[in-house]
Amino acid sequence: MSFSFPNVYPILDAGVIPQVERAEFLRRLASELAEAGVTLLEYRNKAGSETEVLADAATLRAALPSGTTKLILDDRVELVERAGFDGVHVDAGDATPVEARRLLGSNRVVGTFGGSEELVSGILKEPADYFSIGPIFPTTTKATTKPPIGAAGVRRLREQAGQDVVLVAVGGVTIETAPEILAAGASVIGVSAAIFRAKNPAGEFRRWVDALG
Over residues 40-52, the mean pLDDT reads 97
Beta strands in the chain (DSSP E): 8-13, 40-44, 70-74, 87-90, 109-115, 130-133, 167-170, 188-191
CATH number, residue 135: 3.20.20.70
Q: What is the DSSP letter of 137?
A: S
Kindly state whether residue 1 falls inside one of the protein's structural domains.
Answer: no
Tell whether 2 is covered by a domain.
Answer: no
Residue 185 placed within a domain: yes
Q: Classify residue 200: in a domain, yes or no.
A: yes
Confidence (pLDDT) at 93: 80
Residue 146 pLDDT exceeds 90 = no
Query: Residue 3: inside a domain, yes or no?
Result: no
pLDDT at residue 1, as a whole number: 61
Domains in the chain, number: 1
pLDDT above 90 covers what percent of the chain?
92
**Average pLDDT value for the chain:** 95
pLDDT band at 143 (very low <50, low <70, confident <90, very high): low
Range of the domain at 139: 8-212
**pLDDT score for 141:** 66
